[in-house]
């Protein structure tokens, strides 16, 4: 597990450290840099995949993230023209990534060779990794199929575009984390548990995914329980947008294994408050099962789902870390991070202004 990160002179993060645990939640106002830590992880992974790490440098343009050139990522008023990341994995010495500044290049050259430990089984650089961007699949008649992505790369795609294919191929396989089984699921199969967890969002839903090999596409349909019967299939375009949008999130969680790293942006998007809370609980179960999660979220309902999970001993409060990024008014552009603590009863130690407090502020005005 990744236990610590220090980021220096990267965008608005001039010099910030992040002590990490199993469930890491990042929040903040728009434009405050809360995505920057996630971008660092994605940059390192795409650089490793394209073989520019450890010798050549940091690749800013790729499949995971495209940030422009060096002038777009070096912190404003940086005292040195270098970009440095320090990562510490469990039971290993710190790994230092040092890159020289190349203003007009999308490759920031290595300042020193990176010395990764002999054991490179870190999930950041292996198949035990999944990233889901905020821009995920939307309802449509058919979805892409890719044996290479779901079998060789063990990936749903950065946008969840291969989720339907994964369900069609592996829906009957058992989930690895038995703690993820829904109380009403009749078995440990991925599809049975996906149906039941999706039913927390839309009661009685059934998911049908079918591979059409001749066209290399997958059809995705939804049906619903009505008493003792099942309705005919409905196309994704004819049910709520949020059902398809959240599908990659649920599949990513349910298929996860101990030691995996899962990065998700706004997993709660397009869901009603109750469903957002369910996602908070499900992320807590996965984290307690040995999955390391990095979640960017604006949702107080998601956070409260995690807090209730802490209070109900679904997850230890020591395995939840909150990071709230806000602008340093004195410097103008640089941000700093607050880290409110969650105690064993789900209470939060302090509430910085803007930290999931909008409901209370508006309620005060109404009262």
* CB count in 10 Å sphere of residue 113: 10
pLDDT > 60? residue 168: yes
Give the tens place of pLDDT for each residue, 285-340.
Answer: 999 999 999 999 988 999 999 999 999 999 999 999 999 888 765 555 677 888 89
Q: How far lies 80's CA from each of 97, 118, 148, 288, in Å?
A: 15, 31, 42, 40
pLDDT > 90? residue 99: yes
Q: Is 48:346 a contact under the CB 8 Å cutoff? A: no
Domain coordinates of the chain in residue numbers? 1-124+315-366, 137-250
Quote the tokens at residue 28.
């903040």
Q: Is 191:178 a contact under the CB 8 Å cutoff? A: no
Q: What is the pLDDT of residue 315?
A: 97
pLDDT > 60? residue 358: no
Quote the tokens at residue 112.
């020193």
Sign of the CA dihedral with 180 first, then 183, 187, and 192 last: negative
* CB count in 10 Å sphere of residue 341: 13
Q: What is the pLDDT of residue 116?
A: 77
Q: What is the pLDDT of residue 164?
A: 96
Q: How confident is the model at residue 200 (pLDDT cuts 50, 70, 90)?
A: very high
Q: Report DSSP letters for 209-262, one per residue.
A: EEEETTTTEEEEEEEEEETTEEPPPB-GGGS-HHHHHHHHHHHHHHT--TT-EE
pLDDT > 80? residue 282: yes
* CB count in 10 Å sphere of residue 169: 17
Helix, strand or coil, per DSSP, at residue 312: coil
What span, in angstroms and rounded, lies between the C-alpha atoms of 321 and 106? 33
pTM over 0.85: yes
Q: What is the pLDDT of residue 341?
A: 93
Average confidence score pLDDT of the chain? 90
Q: What is the pLDDT of residue 38?
A: 93
Give the tens place of pLDDT for each residue, 104-116.
Answer: 999 999 988 787 7
**CATH-assigned architecture of domain 1-124+315-366:** 3-Layer(aba) Sandwich (3.40)
pLDDT > 60? residue 120: no
Alpha helices in the chain (DSSP H): 36-49, 70-73, 147, 163-170, 190-199, 241-254, 273-288, 300-311, 358-366
Q: What is the pLDDT of residue 365?
A: 60
Q: Terminal CA-to-CA distance of the chain, rounded, Å? A: 46
pLDDT > 80? residue 59: yes
Give the tens place of pLDDT for each residue, 246-265.
Answer: 999 999 999 999 999 999 99
Sign of the CA dihedral with 328 first, then 329, 332, and 333 last: positive
What span, in angstroms and rounded, lies between the C-alpha atoms of 143 and 165? 8
Q: What is the pLDDT of residue 329?
A: 59
What span, in angstroms and rounded, lies between the C-alpha atoms of 203 and 249? 18
């Amino acid at each position: 597990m990744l236990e610590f990160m220090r980021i220096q002179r990267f965008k608005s993060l001039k010099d910030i450290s992040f002590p990490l645990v199993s469930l890491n939640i990042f929040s903040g106002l728009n434009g405050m840099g809360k995505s920057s830590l996630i971008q660092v992880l994605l940059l390192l992974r795409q650089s490793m995949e394209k073989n520019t790490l450890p010798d050549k440098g940091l690749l800013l343009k790729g499949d995971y993230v495209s940030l422009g050139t060096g002038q777009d990522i070096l912190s404003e008023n940086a005292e040195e023209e270098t970009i440095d990341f320090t990562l510490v994995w469990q039971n290993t010495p710190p790994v230092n990534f040092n890159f020289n500044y190349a203003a007009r290049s999308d490759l920031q050259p290595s300042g020193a060779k990176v010395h990764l430990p002999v054991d490179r089984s870190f999930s950041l650089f292996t198949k035990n990794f999944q990233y889901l961007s905020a821009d995920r699949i939307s309802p449509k008649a058919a979805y892409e199929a890719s044996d290479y992505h779901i079998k060789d790369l063990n990936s749903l795609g950065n946008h969840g575009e291969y989720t339907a294919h994964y369900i069609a191929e592996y829906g009957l396989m058992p989930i690895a984390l038995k703690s993820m089984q829904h109380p009403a699921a009749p078995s440990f199969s991925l599809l049975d548990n996906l149906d039941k967890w999706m039913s927390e969002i839309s009661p009685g839903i059934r998911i049908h995914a079918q591979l059409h090999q001749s066209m290399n596409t997958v059809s995705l349909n939804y049906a619903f329980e009505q008493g003792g019967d099942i309705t005919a299939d409905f196309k994704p375009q004819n049910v709520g947008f949020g059902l398809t949008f959240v599908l990659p999130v649920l599949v990513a969680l349910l298929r996860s294994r101990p030691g995996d790293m899962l990065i998700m942006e706004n997993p709660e998007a397009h869901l009603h408050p109750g469903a957002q809370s369910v996602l908070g609980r499900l992320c807590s179960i996965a984290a307690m099962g040995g999955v390391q999660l990095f979640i960017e979220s604006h949702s107080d309902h998601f956070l409260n789902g995690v807090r209730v999970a802490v209070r109900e001993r679904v997850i230890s409060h020591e395995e939840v870390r909150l990071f709230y990024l806000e602008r340093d008014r004195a410097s103008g552009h640089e941000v700093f991070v607050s880290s409110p603590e969650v105690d064993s009863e789900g209470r939060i130690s302090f509430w910085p202004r803007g930290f999931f407090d909008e409901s209370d502020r508006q309620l005060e005005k109404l009262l």
